[in-house]
Structure 1
Amino acid sequence: MTKSLPPLNWLRSFEAAARHLSFTTAAEEIGLTQSAVSQQIKSLETRLGVQLFIRHARGLALTDAGRRLLPEVDAPLQALSRAMVGMDTRPARNLLTIAASISVAHWKIAPRLTEFRNRFPQTEVRILSAIWPDDFHSTRADVEIRFGSAQQAGPEAEAILPDHLIAVKAPTLEGGVQDLPLIETVGTSAGWQAWSRQIETVPGASIYTDTYGMALHLAAHGNGVALVNAWLARHALETGLVTQAHPASVPSQEGYHLSITSDKWQAAALRESLLH
């Protein structure tokens, strides 16, 4: 039986960390936090059953297994990049291209798309899933929504507010943060540990995911309390899919950032809709 492949983002994190011998530098390159890169590489090591890096106080070193794996991972990643060059040949007239994560597409763009299309019926909309900086560079999108720190997003991007974290749960779920399972989004700088330091001590999380969108989805389906970005959760709160489990919030070093890379008036209209 053919063994399933590990997620592409794990391999991308490994390749960048192996090339730089630094989780921090790799994270800056691919637009994730250092802890997210570290977590993905740990997951890859567990999946493969081998240690890929020797973690020193001042940096990293590849193990023999890591050195063997690097060229095997680098070659297909380079091939994928080459394959994407020149593939997007569709005329751009009346086409609005949006590059964003699945979380943003699901929770922010989809709820507004019908109204936007009713206002501009002649505009075709293409939504591209983008996470890595390379994804954004290759899409030539009219509207880009990136997640990360302000430094990672770049000086041309504007922060989308509110960017603090709030605790949410399904309206039918009885109890609060002290009573219910906690859903943790790994790879971000703030989470339930920050909540314990700043608001009140809570038990450790028991459900883990790697995006706020998935954490919000799990909370909406009654799996527990999720600590998620307030802007991302706004539609779910307004429509009653979730409710706040506690009135407090905690700040976060990462958030969503929006930039418009063209002068299309449709892009400006969508920006206004997303920011308000």
Structure 2
Amino acid sequence: MKRLPPLPALHTFLITAKCCNFTRAAEALHLTQGAVSRQISGLESHLGYRLFIRQARGLSLTPQGRELLPRIEQVFGLIEEAVTEVDARPRALQIKAPTCISRWLLPRLMHWQKERPDAPVQLTTTSAHGVDFQREDFDAAVIYGAHPGESVHAQHLFDEQLTPVCSPSMAAGEPRWHLDDLQKRMMLHPTLDKRDWALWLKAAGAKPNAVMQGQHFDTMDLAMTVASQSEGVAIGDWSLIGEDLDAGRLMMPFDLKVRTGAAYYLVSPKRTAVPGALMRLLDWLSEQAAERRRG
């Protein structure tokens, strides 16, 4: 297959054919007249035939030039159309979040996407609880832990509040339990060190060692899913399970909610200008979190 001519030379041919004058073509291309003339000569040498007839008062196309021109126009028209279409598509906002907040965050992002198709969002979930905007290409992130400090813009979403949860069928008509009832059920642990259950049991005045056996999971979200299937009692974060409680997938057999000192924050890099779509999304998520805090 014959090697294709350089795209810049074809573009120069297109502009020159429309102007029929090297000088005017050079002005349109912001090149010198000599540069335009050399590009056309090089293109003619590559193709093996003349494209223009040089005349005293300008240029005229040869038969080959006239045949080639509409096809080159079509090619550059398609390129322009493709670039315009891609530029018109909104860039998806890149959001990072730990898996433990998925139960709260995913339904809201799906609602946002339905209401705001002009501001698409791409969510990346991870077991990590932080973000490094210097090394990670995200527009914003949800982080878990202590306040991130002044290096980023941070909006407080909610504090972690631990409480036992189970499926309504496991409650068996007993909406409120005594601590002794935990010994009759399998306990679901979202961490290997059992620290969440230990913290809650201590605050409830129970002896942790008596009821600390059970099944371990890698994430709190997975423990919540298993609990909703009547397989045990999990320790969950009240801030994240509002939809599960409202839908009847989970229930709280105890009123006690224990704050751990950790919290969820919505963070974004510090910059002089924040894209409008990102600012609207961050503000909306903050409003959603405020509603949950009030709930």
Q: After superposing the two structures, state which structure 1 stretch, 215-224 or 250-259, moved more.
A: 250-259
1:243 alignment partner in structure 2: 251
Q: Structure 1 residue 205: deviation in Å? A: 3.1
- State the match for 2:108 in structure 1: 112
Counterpart among 123, 126, 143 of residue 122 in structure 2: 126
- 1:121 aligns to what SS in structure 2? coil
Task: Give me the whole-angstrom Cα distance separating, in 2, the residues matched to 1:223 and 1:152.
Answer: 40
* Displacement over 6 Å in runs of 4+: 152-155
User: Closer, same or farther in 2 for the Cα pair 1:152/1:196, shift >3 Å?
Assistant: farther
The aligned counterpart of 2:232 is 224
Alignment check: 8 A CA contact 1:164 1:229 kept: yes
| CA distance in 2: counterparts of 1:274 and 1:95, whole angstroms | 22
Gaps of at least 5 residues in structure 2 are 1-85, 173-180
Query: Per-residue CA shift, 1:3-39, capped at 9, x if unaligned?
Result: xxxxxxxxxxxxxxxxxxxxxxxxxxxxxxxxxxxxx
The answer (yes or no) to whether the contact 1:229–1:255 under 8 Å persists in 2 is no
CA contact (8 A) 2:140 2:268 kept: yes
Shift of 1:171: 1.0
Give TM-score scaled by structure 2 length: 0.54
Q: Does 1:199 align with 2:199?
A: no
**Pair 1:189–1:205, CA change in 2 (3 A):** closer
Q: Which residue, out of 248, 268, 275, partners 2:283?
A: 268
SS of the aligned residue for 1:186 comes to coil
Pairing of 1:63-142 with structure 2 (within 5 A): 93-105=90-102, 107-132=103-128, 133=130, 137-142=134-139
Q: Are the aligned partners of 1:98 and 1:127 in contact in 2 as well (CA < 8 Å)?
A: yes
Question: Within the alignment, does 1:147 sit opposite 2:170 as a pair?
Answer: no
Measured after TM superposition, the shift of residue 168 of structure 1 is 0.4
| Percent identical residues | 18
Secondary structure of 1:273's aligned partner: helix
Contact 1:164-1:251 within 8 A present in 2 as well: yes
Query: What amino acid is aligned across from residue 129 of structure 1 in structure 2?
Result: T
Distance 2:150 2:189 in 1: 23
Q: 1:164 to 1:189 in 2, by over 3 A?
A: farther
Residue equivalent to 2:158? 161
- Cα distance in 2 between the residues matched to 1:154 and 1:187: 32
Larger CA Rg, structure 1 vs 2: 2
Normalised TM-score (structure 1): 0.57
Which of these residues, 163, 178, 184, is aligned with residue 179 of structure 1? 184
In structure 1, stretches of 5+ residues that fail to align are 1-89
Give the partner amino acid of 1:220: S
Amino acid at match of 1:113: L
In structure 2, the residue corresponding to 1:141 is in which secondary structure?
coil
Distance 2:205 2:115 in 1: 46
Structure 1: distance between partners of 2:255 and 2:265 = 25
| Contact 1:142–1:267 (Cα < 8 Å) also in 2 | no
Number of paired residues?
A: 186
CA, structure 1 residues 189+174, in 2 after alignment: closer, same or farther (shift >3 Å)? closer
Q: Secondary structure at the match of 1:247?
A: coil
Distance 1:121 1:147, change over 3 A: same
Per-residue displacement from partner, 1:199-237 (whole Å, max 9, x unpaired)? 142511311123221121121111211111111222211
Q: What SS does structure 1 have at the residue aligned with 2:113? A: helix
Deviation, 1:144, is: 0.8
